[in-house]
A and B are shown apart, each in its own frame.
Chain A
Amino acid sequence: MDNALNTPAAVEMRNITKRFGSVVANDSVSLEIRRGEILALLGENGSGKTTLMNMLSGIYFPDAGEILINGQPVVIKSPKDAFGLGIGMIHQHFKLVDVLTAAENIVLGLEGKMDLKEAAKKINSICKAYGFDVDPHQKIYDMSVSQKQTVEIVKVLYRGADILILDEPTAVLTPQETDKLFAVLRSMRDSGKAIVIITHKMHEVEALSDRVAVLRAGKYVGSMLTKDTNAQEMTNMMVGRAVTLNIDRPVPVNPKPRIAVRNLTVRNEEGVVKLENVSFTANSGEILGIAGISGCGQKELLEAIAGLQPTESGSIVYIEDNGQEEELLGKDPLRIQEMGVALSFVPEDRLGMGLVGNMDLTDNMMLRSFRRGHSLFTDRKTPHHVAENVVHDLEVSTPSIATPVRRLSGGNVQKVLVGREITNAPSVLLTAYAVRGLDINSSYTIYDLLNRQKKDGVAVVYVGEDLDVLVELCDRILVLCSGRVSGIVDGRATDKRQLGMMMTRIGGQENG
């Protein structure tokens, strides 16, 4: 581990190829990762970033090509080999045991005697060195998302990793937590570690990374120093053509109250209050954003409106154009549909709730409409046309209409889901994390679709996590904080600092 100049790159991947069946995930990719540098790995969904990094961390084995660590050719067969070589990966979904403490999780799986006292000491010294804040004796279930992530990072450092890979680490963090993470990453870089970060957020790339490497459709496109480039150029490289990076926000035309939620309180199955006394109105022709730290009641709120979540008290009414009100609470999705309320819902869990992964596009289009008509048999012709139209209009890239949707990439899955939900000409469109995990190009397609719905007079509810987007896209933003309404602000007059404050404290600062 000498850090002299002219040492070989920490990692050199040469002509790495990986196929999954007939799909080429990585096509002869060569990539260098250097010490004392933060490399941002960019690419659209399905461009092979995660696959490439998974080969480095021992989860997949490449079909062809070689990997050099510190100039030495190595073979990484398992995550254990990767640890042995000092490679640690922090995955998007945390892999921690909830009922154990931080220290127990960190030493879990290590060979040799388990000495928790010694471990706690070592953990504390790591924390001191990089400015982490981890209590080794705290249980994981008591921790916030960002604390859990810190434990993951300490875990790989504890195992002696000096090459760190982070897969979309900021997806679940507030702006304040993100800043803290970035400070830590910078201090690790300065101590000579090699860091790779996979992210879709351009402003983070610009703020954090030293160098960017771009993948497109499994191929390596190029790399450059971050200071020599800009978001526009990087996006163009990822997409392969020029794209515009502005989110449109037309002024709402003639907004009218469409959904009124009044004093809604919801408890989950364990009896924990998830929503408390929530009141707001969603207007037609307007995008209402909902911001909040993840798990603050967003899911329960949307599912309550959609008729999927039992509620304790309050009311949710649908207001027709003539002002007539209809109660939605206590009705299941079928009843709501039969009442003539065109309510569409794009849930957070796309393949587990919105779509059926093993069914093809046609059968997924049918989910909403298969009951139509009195025939005992299903009509597959109409949904087939709908599927063709969605594929065509939203530029879904799929081998065919008969492909099971689980085989599509994240962005395409989302397009299929959103496409289906808007074909029924909704008057209310609820979306939960509509662009989560989507690359820039797909995200902009979705924003565009939402704006088109808004112009058509639909009341759009957009639950989001990227505050930059919320501030640019939404007309009004409701901020949830631990299941309560922290405030409703004008999207044109707020900024993400203010939203971040309101997310952590009811009403934000005194002037919030």
Chain B
Amino acid sequence: MANSTTKEPLIHITKRGLLPWYGAWGIRGGAILLALIFCALVTTVVTGQNPLSVYVTIFNASFSTQRRTWVLVQNIAMLLSVSLALIPAFKMKFWNLGGEGQMLAGGLATAACMICLKDVFPNWAIILCMIVGSIAAGALWGFIPAFFKAKFNTNETLFTLMMNYVATQLVAFFIIIWEVPKGAGKIGIINQQTQIGWLPVIGNYKYLLNVIVVAVLCVAMYIYLGYSKHGYEISVVGESERTAKYVGIKVSRVIIRTMLLSGAICGLTGMLLVGGTDHTLTTSITGGRGFTAVMVAWLAKFNPIWMILTSFLLVFLQRGASEISTVFGLNQSYGDILTGIILFFIVGSEFFIQYKINFRHAAGKEEAHV
């Protein structure tokens, strides 16, 4: 007993002061570099491939042709859009995991307008209906869990998650109703001949409209959260409901209002997917973005501008992963493993930004970074 207490602990962890920005980014950059080296090692050992050519392939997946770059940008825009929808809720500490369902609700409303109104209204009115309808549907999908949270303090994580399944089943139901041709089990391209309800294309760039909409949304969200009274109320409710009540903020009203907004933007994203790019409706049209967006938001610490970077990172890695699986004949899972390793290093680096590790006898002299 006496002996065991005479030794200094091997490592002891202390909290850092505020790092200057270059220190924090140095650590993050170092983490990515280390992750790449580690991935290279794993690649060589496990698959016998040359890691450099694997990296080149990952890069090419996004940048080798103009078309690929446009696909990359479109995917970033869609992912960013959902992430932007989630952060007002997240800042309020309302864990909205229902992005998928809210997007599907918006997409369903869009498809309904395109299919059912095509012979009734002129094209511009249909597009207007799509916009209003998708926003309303997404907002409704956000409102339901918010209402129960505000009135009965139900768990929003489970509730929003469950709402995803409801939305998926609803979409599956309507796909059978609208299927073309009968018995196909899918809708196919909606209004392929007439292009009714298709969002206009700017110049020759199919995806440009989506990108512009999301860019505007991004700046608007940055201002809304940082400088508006609503944004301030959201922060106060998120930090402490008791403080909010103490200064007379109506907490349930803020919860419902914010989730209406969150759901509405998800719904709008669904509209951009259905009306802008895919022109069809499937149960998997969201591509899991409702969940990936959670990671985008957290990695950027809910900052809309940083989220451009983190959504780029995730989309870039995803596309690279699927590319190497085809080029090298590797399993698709292998790409996901690499993505996982890189994300692990990035998330892990946050620890070293907050804390410093001191080794025995070296306390104060050497500091371990990563």
Contact = CB atoms under 8 A, between A and B. Distances in A.
A366 B5 CA distance: 51
B1 A353 contact: no
B9 A77 contact: yes
Given A75-B6, A352-B240, A359-B239, A371 B246 contact: no
A345 B247 CA distance: 10
A355 B240 CA distance: 9
B68 interface: no
Given A63-B363, A84-B5, A337-B248, A355 B243 contact: yes
Contacts of B12: 61
B151 interface: no
B103 interface: no
Interface residues of B, number: 34
A356 B240 contact: yes
A357 B247 contact: no
Contacts of B301: none
B229 A356 contact: no
B16 A21 contact: yes
B7 interface: yes
Contacts of A356: 235-236, 239-240, 243
B15 A377 contact: no
B232 interface: yes
Nearest to A373: B229
Given A63-B363, A63-B364, A347 B246 contact: yes
Contacts of A333: 245-248
Contacts, number: 97
A168 interface: no
B17 A377 contact: no
Given A337-B248, A354-B243, A378 B232 contact: yes
Interface string B213-230: 000000000000001111
Contacts of B1: 84
A2 interface: no
B14 A63 contact: yes
Contacts of B240: 352-353, 356-357
Nearest to B242: A353
Given A84-B1, A352-B240, A378-B229, A75 B8 contact: yes
Interface residues of A, number: 45
Given A334-B248, A363-B232, A75 B5 contact: yes
Contacts of A21: 15-18
Contacts of B7: 75
A169 B323 CA distance: 66
Contact of B227 (A73, A349, A357, A377): A377
Contacts of B6: 73-75
Contacts of A61: 9, 12
A19 B356 CA distance: 12
Among B8, B12, B227, B246, which residue has the most Cβ atoms of chain A within 10 A? B246
B142 to A, nearest CB: 21
A367 B232 CA distance: 9
Nearest to B239: A356
A366 B239 contact: no
Contacts of A363: 232, 235
Interface of B: 1, 5-9, 12, 14-18, 227-233, 235-236, 239-240, 242-243, 245-250, 358, 363-364
Given A64-B364, A356-B236, 16 more contacts: A19-B14, A64-B363, A73-B6, A77-B5, A334-B250, A345-B246, A349-B242, A352-B240, A353-B243, A356-B235, A359-B235, A363-B235, A377-B229, A378-B227, A378-B229, A378-B232
12 contacts: A21-B16, A23-B17, A63-B363, A64-B363, A74-B6, A77-B5, A347-B246, A354-B243, A375-B229, A376-B228, A377-B228, A377-B229
